[in-house]
Amino acid sequence: MVDNNTIMESGICIECGAKGIDGLSCYEMFQFPLVWEHNDPKLYDLHFWLVSCYMIQHPSNYTEDGYNLLIKLFTHAYDNKWGTDYILRKNRELVLKIGKITNPLPNHKRKRIYRKWSMTIEDIYINGEKNAINNISKWRDMIRKDLQI
């Protein structure tokens, strides 16, 4: 299965390793918490972390500089406990310095490399909206640990 952002082979994302659930790709599962956050301001406060966790696990969406910027921003924000407003301001500053951050190649021409992650969007989706705040926070923590390996 191929959507505009991921490739699933035998029901598993070839990049992040998430198992497709309910016939959904990892990208399609990612859309659910994006909708859920509109129902809960506390969940919306985690928007940066939700998007960053997903995108860190899908580096093919970025240029090399763009991906490195994301990792740098994520780790600095996490390690220094930055607030959302500060994170967004720093993101704008960093993006201005490097220019193009998204991969300009068509989806089918992007190089994808599998990496084993402790948690993926599958864990957020399967545990539902009620548990999203706790699970996104846990995902953020697990991504930070996985990046240290």
- The pLDDT tens digits for 49-100 are 999 999 999 999 999 999 999 999 999 999 999 998 999 899 888 888 887 8
- What SS3 class is residue 121? helix
- HSE-up (13 A, CA, CB side) for residue 95: 11
Q: What angle do CA 73, 137, 33 make, to 5 degrees?
A: 95
- Residue 51, Cβ neighbours under 10 Å: how many? 14
The answer to whether 19 and 122 have CB atoms below 8 angstroms apart is yes
How much is the pTM?
0.91
